[in-house]
Amino acid sequence: MRVDYTPDVTGDGPSGASVDDRDVEPADLTGGWDRLLRTWFAAAVAAAVPEPNAMVLATVDEHGHPATRTVLCKKIDADGLAFYTNFESDKGRHLAARPYASATFLWLPIYRQVTVRGPVVRVPDDETLAYWRTRPRGSRLGAWASQQSRPVGDRVELERALVEAAEQYDIDDDIPVPAFWGGFRIVPESVEFWQGRPNRLHNRVRTRSVDGRWIAERLQP
């Protein structure tokens, strides 16, 4: 079931775009990374790729060990990629200690992948609230019910916590944002666009910020 999945792709990128299979060139990234990412995201949506805004997020734990999980990107704009979570979850604690991450979109049906790396900052409270209000009631209650990443005895215990959260609010109540919940934004300093090609000669173009300006380069596969 798809629930609450469509992100805000703020900007002037096209919507409902068809897949253009030409090779991306470094010159396509002269103006930065965000327009092309929005274009590719729209193409993934048009191609009916399942959960097109799913991205694998990599963080580093307190021992310096990498950890990955899939999260849903909720906003793509010139400032970066935003996602939301429990700040007390594993990823929340990792990012509080080491505010840097890598995230990868993989759109296999159209042979494309994008990897974004950069420092991570908290999303402002007003932006978190605006997104929170778009979430279905069940998703808002679920955020209150789940002590994310902590052990739980069984499924019944988890479902009981959801019922208890629901009992706190009447059906018409404005459920508040938990103090332990909100958004993070990855501020890109490197973005790589990958296109699958025959004979493993894949097309890879990376743009990265160097001394305040963006440069683009082709990478060998």
Q: Look up tokens 């209150």; give the residue.
A: 144
- Measured CA to CA, the distance from residue 116 to residue 192 in angstroms comes to 7
Q: Look up tokens 């000669």; give the residue.
A: 201
Range of 55's domain? 26-135+177-219
Q: Would residue 194 count as lying in a domain?
A: yes
- Measured CA to CA, the distance from residue 15 to residue 44 in angstroms comes to 10
Q: How many CB atoms lie within 10 A of CB 74?
A: 22
Q: Would residue 158 count as lying in a domain?
A: no
Query: Among this protein's residues, is 160 annotated catalytic?
Result: no
How many domains is the chain partitioned into structurally?
1
Q: Would residue 76 count as lying in a domain?
A: yes
Q: Would residue 7 count as lying in a domain?
A: no
pLDDT tens-digit map of 114-172? 999 999 999 999 999 999 999 999 898 988 888 887 787 888 888 888 888 888 888 77
Q: Which amino acid is at 191?
A: V
Q: Would residue 53 count as lying in a domain?
A: yes
Q: How far is CA 162 from the centre of its chain?
A: 25
Closest CA to 173 of 216, 212, 131, 140: 140
Q: What is the pTM of this model?
A: 0.87
pLDDT tens, position by position, for the chain (221 residues)? 333 445 665 544 334 445 668 999 999 998 789 999 999 999 999 999 999 999 999 999 999 999 999 999 999 999 999 999 999 999 999 999 999 999 999 999 999 999 999 999 999 999 999 999 999 998 989 888 888 877 878 888 888 888 888 888 887 778 999 999 999 999 999 999 999 999 999 999 999 999 888 999 999 99
Q: Would residue 208 count as lying in a domain?
A: yes
Structure tokens at 202: 């894949």
Whichever domain contains 209, its CATH number is 2.30.110.10
- Read off φ and ψ for residue 181, nearest 5 degrees: -130, 140
Active-site residue among 2, 22, 155, 200? 200
Closest CA to 24 of 12, 36, 9, 32: 36
Q: Which residues of 103-141 are buried (b: 16+ CB within 10 A; e: fewer)?
A: bbbebeebebbbbbbbebbebeeebbeebbeebeeeebb
Q: Provide the 3-class DSSP secondary structure of residue 41.
A: helix
- Measured CA to CA, the distance from residue 80 to residue 188 in angstroms comes to 6
